[in-house]
Amino acid sequence: MVEKRIARGDLLVLSGSVIVLFLLGILGSVYYPHLSRWLHRDLAHAIVLDADRACNPVGKVCTVGDGTLTITLRLGDSVQPLTPFPVLVSLAGKAATKVSKVTVYFTMVNMDMGFNRVDLSRREDGTWQGQALLPVCSTRRRDWRVTVEVASDTPYVGEFYLLTSP
């Protein structure tokens, strides 16, 4: 009789755990957009620089800047989903010496593609480099927004546009 109570108690704990995990999953899906914004630091006071939409940084450089900072982005010679590719950012201008961190985000407009963030490492030559991997879009879209966040006394955000290989 004691063994049945333990088994029944274990069953109650297990079913309660499953219910809690299910509810956490629902809450997570509801609050993911808010969490995503929280994870992307508050950049309300950042200077936003928009690159030319016609410039695709695959295998070539795309540049955006103002009088204080210039951000140059170059991706690998081929960018395809599920294939790692290099991300290279160069900074120039008087604000470039005060940069403490460079982070790159890959997103799609009106499409949740998950959290695609790459923290770049500073190289000896002053450039910032990392490796990225993009997911496959179930609707076969290939248009991406590449956001380069530059952390310094005055934060900068460079917005670039990427079209991946078919």
Q: What is this structure's pTM?
A: 0.73
Tell me how crowded residue 72 is: count the other CB atoms within 10 A of its CB: 20
Decide: 122 and 128 in contact? Cβ < 8 Å.
yes
The domain segmentation of the chain, as residue ranges, is 1-39, 47-163
Domain 47-163 in this protein, CATH class: mainly beta
Q: Is 141 exposed, middle or buried (0-12, 13-18, 19+ CB in 10 A)?
A: middle
pLDDT in tens, the chain (166 residues): 555 555 666 767 777 777 877 777 776 666 655 555 555 555 568 899 999 999 999 999 999 999 899 999 999 999 999 999 999 999 999 999 999 999 999 999 888 888 899 999 999 998 999 999 999 998 989 999 999 999 998 899 999 999 998 7
Q: How far apart are CA 28 and CA 59, in angstroms?
A: 37
